[in-house]
Structure 1
């Protein structure tokens, strides 16, 4: 079984994430997508980041009607700070019968050469890239690499930041979230301050 790992803080998960994940699983050779909730991204401010278990619950609720999309908290159990190369090694040990691939936006591919042990990642895992409006060019070593697959998924320009700001500003952002995600955010009073 070939599993695509879609990493994100999912703060909150929105329909854009689901559109991309669903497109990747339906229009590639991936059998499932695991939405890996990352505990903390060092490049993002932590003050607006919901607790891990709340973000996992949001991903669980968002994906429960999509059998090929699964929530994953595998990184919660790993020492922090964590790197993707360590997660891939750990998850491959835990599930030796599965083949794991990375899903990333084109903008992340532009900086992939800066990732810790990116050569090891590329040696052992395929990468599925979805388009994003990106600045800069893709490093020449990634342009025609047989392990990097570009999937012509729709370009989605919804951001979790704009959703959080919209909630704080009392805007109707419900169309950007599944009903299950919106209900949980609303009942828990998330992002209102």
Structure 2
């Protein structure tokens, strides 16, 4: 199992508080930087899935990307906390303290450590399109329900992806979104809704914000 060197930063790598029975969304990423498109996804998925909380998991680095120019974890966590105003959203870099390099490690830890919470993994449609490239992606789908939120230009590619085809039998109707946290995995849903063309890379390149 691949692990990174553990990195403990008080107040940054702490796991958020929770209680048995809570429906908790897990929204992971580099957040370099966090932007209104991220906030939109958080707001919409919390509302549509009727979540009790949403944890923003700021990763030490994406295994599928070049992380050489990535700002320090603490800087990205603090920036995310400064932007988020929702009282039930918590930002953490706890994966760094555990030395986790992959999402499946994070989800396995949470579902084993907190088995009486109902976790839902949240991703954008662009991530679903590449989901088959994730380490042990089938295991991820077998551990938690997944909510996929529409992204401009990614819908067709996402729904025609290898992961979508493999998990076709496990797709739930969008109208059942409030029940997803209770579904037995594999289970996933594709959510249509408000969209933003913003991306972290476009912001770093100076692109103007637009919403759809």
> TM (normalized to structure 2)?
0.71
Find the residue that maps to 1:27 and give its secondary structure.
helix
Structure 1 residue ranges (4+ consecutive) displaced by more than 4 angstroms after TM superposition: none
State the match for 1:75 in structure 2: 95
State the match for 1:191 in structure 2: none
Asked if structure 2 preserves the Cα contact closer than 8 Å seen for 1:104 and 1:128, the reply is yes
Which residue of 79, 94, 103 corresponds with 1:84? 103
Asked if structure 2 preserves the Cα contact closer than 8 Å seen for 1:25 and 1:68, the reply is no
Asked if structure 1 preserves the Cα contact closer than 8 Å seen for 2:40 and 2:195, the reply is no
State the match for 1:9 in structure 2: 30
Aligned pairs, number: 168
Asked if structure 2 preserves the Cα contact closer than 8 Å seen for 1:129 and 1:148, the reply is yes
State the match for 1:189 in structure 2: none
Find the residue that maps to 2:148 and give its secondary structure.
strand
Is the deviation greater in 21-30 or in 50-59? 21-30
**Alignment CA distance shift 1:29-1:15 (3 Å):** same
Unmatched runs of 5 consecutive residues or more in structure 1:
177-193
State the match for 1:179 in structure 2: none
**Alignment CA distance shift 1:30-1:144 (3 Å):** farther
User: CA–CA distance in 1 between the matches of 2:114 and 2:94?
Assistant: 11
State the match for 1:185 in structure 2: none
* Structure 1 position 124 matched with structure 2 position 143: yes
Asked if structure 2 preserves the Cα contact closer than 8 Å seen for 1:5 and 1:101, the reply is yes
> TM (normalized to structure 1)?
0.77
- Tell me by how many angstroms 1:30 deviates: 2.4
